[in-house]
Amino acid sequence: MMRLARKIPRACGFTLLELLVVVVILGMLAALGFSGAQAALRKGGATECVSNMRQIASAVQLYAVENNGNLPDIQHGGRISWTNALGDFLGPQFIGRCPSLKNYPLAIDVTYAWNDMLADPATARGIPLTKIARPSSTLLIAEKQASLGDFDHFHFRGALGARGRMSIVQFEREVNTKAHGASANFLFADGHVESLGSVQLQSRLSLSNPPFLVP
Ligand SMILES: [Zn+2]
């Protein structure tokens, strides 16, 4: 009887230690599930962003075919922005905002900006695609910082200056290199998209007149 009487209360309840272990395990499972869901969300945004860029790449090709092989213009001195010039080729389904940049002001219709080195500095007209010596190395569009507002292009020409060099700090003043966690998406002139982080960008910018920016 004595043994049974001692056993019953133990069988009916959990000890404090057992409860604590359960709470800790549940907490860990919840944290794992949450970070998993967050990673999936980020990845989802990055996938849509890559798809946005691929659509822009196709539109650029179609535009060039109809415009003597030239790239679209950038918005300067009354020139029509590439964002409008490509409109006919992108179609009404196109969404120009990267889904990962939800905190950007709604006034920013397009969260991507153009490499200004691909436009004539005097006229803002797009250069011919054939003038790009290494299309698989040269940037066409990247994700812009919210501070760039509705600007349609970056200002690499001024930053590169006569020395033809730019630091990652200068680059990141206009380019959002952390749009997707530790990296961002970059569309190249040959139409391929790459996800690059700061270290990879730094090495591409380390050259004088880097082919990454200079056609
Ligand atoms: Zn993006």
Whether residue 9 is contained in a domain is answered as no
Which of 199-212 are b and which e, b meaning 16 or more Cβ less than 10 Å from the residue's Cβ? eebeebbeeeebbb
Domain encompassing residue 19: 15-205
7, part of any domain? no
The dihedrals phi and psi of 122, each to the nearest 5 degrees, come to: -85, -40
Flag whether 122 is in a domain: yes
User: How much distance in Å is there from the Cα of 132 to the middle of ligand 1?
Assistant: 25
The residue among 48, 139, 51 whose CA lies nearest residue 100 is 48
Query: What's the CA-to-centroid distance between 42 and ligand 1, angstroms?
Result: 10
Q: How far is the CA of 90 from the centre of ligand 1 (A)?
A: 17
What is the number of domains present in the chain? 1
Residue 210 placed within a domain: no
Distance 100 CA to ligand 1 centre (A): 6
The reply to whether 214 falls in a domain is: no
111 CA distance to ligand 1 middle (Å): 8
Question: What is residue 208's predicted lDDT score, i.e. its pLDDT?
Answer: 93
Cα 163 to middle of ligand 1, angstroms: 31
Q: How far is the CA of 179 from the centre of ligand 1 (A)?
A: 5
- Residue-wise pLDDT tens digits, 37-51: 555 555 568 899 999
**Domain for residue 72, yes or no?**
yes
Find the 182 Cα to ligand 1 centroid distance in Å.
12
Cβ atoms 161, 209 nearer than 8 A: no
Q: Is 78 helix (H, G, I), strand (E, B) or coil?
A: coil
Distance 14 CA to ligand 1 centre (A): 49
Which stretches of the chain drop beneath a pLDDT of 50?
Answer: 1-2, 9
Q: What is the pLDDT of residue 1?
A: 47
Beta carbons within 10 angstroms of residue 157's beta carbon: 15
Q: Full-prediction pTM beyond 0.85?
A: no
Three-state DSSP class for residue 210 = coil
Residue 22 Cα distances to 4, 11, 17, 28, 29, angstroms: 27, 17, 9, 10, 11
- The alpha carbon of 37 and the centre of ligand 1 are apart by a number of angstroms equal to 18
192 alpha carbon – ligand 1 mean position (Å)? 15
Residues in a beta bridge with 112 = 143
In a domain, 124, yes or no: yes
102 CA distance to ligand 1 middle (Å): 10
Q: What angle do CA 48, 32, 98 make, to 5 degrees?
A: 15
pLDDT value for 94: 85
Centroid of ligand 1 to alpha carbon of 101 (angstroms): 7
The residues, ordered by sequence, that sit 6+ positions from 124 with a Cβ below 8 Å of its Cβ are: 73, 74, 75, 76, 77, 79
Q: How far is the CA of 113 from the centre of ligand 1 (A)?
A: 12
pLDDT at residue 12, rounded to an integer: 56
CA of 96 to the centre of ligand 1 (A): 10
Identify whether 10 is part of a domain.
no
